[in-house]
Amino acid sequence: AAELEYESVLCVKPDVNVYRIPPRTSNRGYRASDWKLDHPDWTGRLRVTSKGKTAYIKLEDKVSGELFAQAPIDQYPGIAVETVTDSSRYFVIRIQDGTGRSAFIGIGFTDRGDAFDFNVSLQDHFKWVKQETEISKESQEADTRPKLDLGFKEGQTIKLNIVNMTTKKGGAAKPRVSGSGGLSLLPPPPGGKIAVSPIPPPSSTAIVNHVTPPPMLKSSNVSSADILLDLDAPASAAKAPASATTDLWGDFSTASSAVPNQAPQQSNWVQF
């Protein structure tokens, strides 16, 4: 499996300075101010690569690409890469050769952005390593768990209880009739007939037109005595309609007789 893994490049920085650092005298950490920052011991290119779960910091020549030193990293942050206490542009890395020997050297970047990219590339790689480890662990635990057997055993049956499917005498359920307005209507009862009431014919009786004479307006100068006289004589007012009706329609008869060359027409007016 290790032979099938390929090497990928995580970060490349064209300018990096390498320093020989004095041994650490206390547990406070490394300080870049103790180094000779103006006189680096080597200058070249830095590449950060990964192969599987291991990352590598490679120091190479700018022109030929020859490998100067490399530092394998199994954990970050860790002893393989440490930051200094007084600057964010300098780091201490542990380089190793093929024989197993190791040494601690200091590296630094002129641009603060290059140092930030170098730090983020290592963080992203080991974050991915952590996620892969958790996923593989969960898959192994899932394989060791007993699997549920949801299949039917021999002779085992299941009973389904379907609601609202009752029928009469074993027949199929009758669908509801839907009306034009979207309302569901019940079907008519079997063997029954709906009696439709016949529409009555239009009445042949003639409609009597009632003509009410216009009200008589009383003048404003009528005295209260005249009003009292009108109230005292209801009997005389009851006798008046016959003559008043005759006089009222007599005007129309006179007007019709005055027109020449017209045949007399039968009056359909009803006298009261």
Domain regions of the chain by residue span: 9-139
Closest CA to 16 of 88, 118, 86, 101: 118
CATH class belonging to 9-139: mainly beta
Tell me the CA end-to-end span of the chain in Å, nearest whole number.
124
Task: Give the pLDDT of residue 271.
Answer: 56
- In the 8-state DSSP scheme, what is residue 240? H
Task: Give the pLDDT of residue 153.
Answer: 79
Closest CA to 90 of 172, 161, 21: 21
Task: Give the pLDDT of residue 28.
Answer: 78
> In the chain, where do the E strands start and end?
7-20, 42-51, 54-60, 67-73, 81-83, 90-96, 102-108, 177-178, 184-185
Closest CA to 127 of 58, 55, 46, 47: 55
Task: Give the pLDDT of residue 241.
Answer: 47
Are 109 and 48 a contacting pair, CB within 8 Å? no
Task: Give the pLDDT of residue 117.
Answer: 94
- Return d(Cα 105, Cα 102) in angstroms, integer: 10
Cβ neighbours around 92 below 10 Å, total: 21
Task: Give the pLDDT of residue 135.
Answer: 87
Query: Which residues of the chain register pLDDT less than 50?
Result: 1, 204-211, 218-225, 227-229, 231-233, 235-246, 255-256, 258-259, 263
Quote the pTM value: 0.51
